[in-house]
Structure 1
Amino acid sequence: MTNSALALRVPSEIELDRRLYRRRQNGKSVAIALASTLVFAALVWLLVVNTPGWTAVQQSFFNLDVAISAFPRVIEGLWLNIRVLFFASIGVLIVSLLLAVIRTLRGPVFFPLRALATGYTDLFRGVPLLIVLYLVGYGVPGLGLFPRMPAEFWGTVALVLTYSAYVSEVFRAGIEAVHPSQRLAARALGLSHAQTMRKVVLPQAVRKVTPALMNDFVAMQKDVGLISVIGAIDAVRAAQIETAASYNFTPYVLAGLLFVLLAWPTIRLTDWYSARMRRREQMGSIV
């Protein structure tokens, strides 16, 4: 490596001073944010515990003995939610990517496919997930065309139908964000349309929309609890059963906390990845 190239890679004294100043400011900001958060939390806590009805609310919603008693049934239901989430995520990924590719096809011969994909996304983005669950969970089995399937199967189908419409639009936005010159260069090299899409466009598109995809995954982690409306014994339905047995709402709070713990790693990963991409986009040259 030449001396000039080495000099370009080594930060200057000015840049090192800037980095040191940023670290100090970041440390000071973290300390101030932590102190203000603790003060605010203490004030809220004092306000809540001094309200007239706090004792009754604590017994009805935050009863430790009831939570311990309900935990085995609720955690068993949560495993069902995790299984449904796993298979629904795979289905959403496949169906949404197929829809996005269809909607980006060019030429009048593909108009029927584009119209069908557009109608699908418009329909399922407009219909609430709860109604889709009822239609799929009770209406489709009523046709008698399929063998008897468990409620979690139909809940997974409903999730795939609804979230594929949303995620396909995210994929389509990423595909359209890839500059046309990338496609032209790939076709000039002799790649077919399918090869261009698979090897050039989709890798760039997915990288651009990864934060949005992760946010949709977090939303689906939360909505997977709605499968309880069609009879699946998931965490929410288990909490409902325990509440009916104990006349106490603590199992619902327990189920909510478990869903938060389930989503928290993905939320933090999404924030980290978004910040990383933002830093890479805003990064300037070394002085």
Structure 2
Amino acid sequence: MALVSTLLFAVVAYLVVTRSPGWPRVQTTFFSPQVALDSLPEIARGLLLNLRVLVVGGVLVLVVGLLVAIARTLRGPAFAPLRLLATGYVDLFRGMPLIIVLYLVGFGFPALGLQGVPTSPFVLGTAAIVLVYAAYVAEVFRAGIESVHPSQRAAARSLGLTHRQSMRIVVLPQALRTVTPALLNDFVALQKDVGLISVLGAIDAVRSAQILVGRSFNFTPYVVAGLLFVLLAVPTARIADAVSARARRRQQSGHLL
């Protein structure tokens, strides 16, 4: 029944779109096979820059996010300034749109004229993405750390472990296991947002498509770039679904680890 209803919906949608009066023009402008084949190599070369930003930015987001999360979970009045600083950072960059951060970092830092400040769109775009996504990931890590029962910390300290050893050996492994599905979902979102570095002039997949559209006045390169990003995100999305399902099964069966 599900298969029949799905096929019926697909047939109806296809007929509605292809029988519409403007379909021939839309097909020529957005879905030209020849334009897609001609633009694919150049867009694929631009996608390599997006992949570089994704890899470098993804690693830095995990590191910065974990450090900020640990800073927010520190106990004691002596760490109050560090906790306030970490909280302010999270509140600021979680509330600010990524596109605005890209403009501020990408155009603001070079405008300072400071010696040694990088001007590469790759470096500045990656920095802006890290600033925003690390704030989100920090909250994910913090939720995972605080989800570990206090008895786990007490047991670790009773065994003679220091606070740092307790975090590294006992708390963080359990927290990471808990938040892995959420981190994978953030990674899927990151895969899309690396395309925004094109606003800084970086010749990535989106910018390459924009240049090709300007040459031919055909929007098919945008469709090609979009499909490449979809192909990049789908495997990670399926992995995230599988990890989430596995975590749900383990939780329902009563396993903590």
TM-score relative to the length of structure 1:
0.86
Aligned AA (2:7): L
How far apart, in 1, do the equivalents of 2:7 and 2:113 lie?
A: 58
Q: Runs of 4+ in structure 1 displaced over 3 angstroms? A: none
Aligned to 1:161: 131
Aligned to 1:195: 165
Aligned to 2:83: 114
1:151 aligns with 2:112: no
1:5-84 matched pairs, under 5 angstroms: 32-84=1-53
1:233 alignment partner, SS class: coil
How far apart, in 1, do the equivalents of 2:166 and 2:200 lie?
A: 43
Aligned to 1:127: 96
Aligned to 2:253: 283
Q: Unaligned 5+ residue runs, structure 2? A: none
How far apart, in 1, do the equivalents of 2:117 and 2:77 lie?
A: 39
How far apart, in 2, do the equivalents of 1:213 and 1:196 lie?
A: 22
Aligned AA (1:211): P
1:168-247 matched pairs, under 5 angstroms: 168-247=138-217
How far apart, in 2, do the equivalents of 1:185 and 1:78 lie?
A: 49
How far apart, in 1, do the equivalents of 2:90 and 2:252 lie?
A: 34
How far apart, in 2, do the equivalents of 1:62 and 1:242 lie?
A: 14
1:182-201: CA deviation from partner (whole Å, max 9, x where unpaired): 00000000000000000000
How much does 1:48 deviate? 0.7
Aligned to 2:67: 98
TM-score relative to the length of structure 2:
0.96
How much does 1:276 deviate? 1.4
Aligned AA (1:252): Y
Aligned to 1:5: none
How far apart, in 2, do the equivalents of 1:259 and 1:115 lie?
A: 37
1:57-91: CA deviation from partner (whole Å, max 9, x where unpaired): 11110011111111111000001000010000011
How far apart, in 2, do the equivalents of 1:279 and 1:150 lie?
A: 46
Taking a change above 3 Å as real, the CA distance of residues 148 and 280 of structure 1, as seen in their structure-2 partners, is closer
Taking a change above 3 Å as real, the CA distance of residues 121 and 147 of structure 1, as seen in their structure-2 partners, is closer
CA contact (8 A) 2:118 2:124 kept: no
Query: Between the two proteins, what is the percent identity of the paired residues?
Result: 64
Aligned AA (1:172): R
Q: Unaligned 5+ residue runs, structure 1? A: 1-31
How many residues get paired? Answer: 253
Aligned AA (1:280): R
2:197 alignment partner, SS class: helix
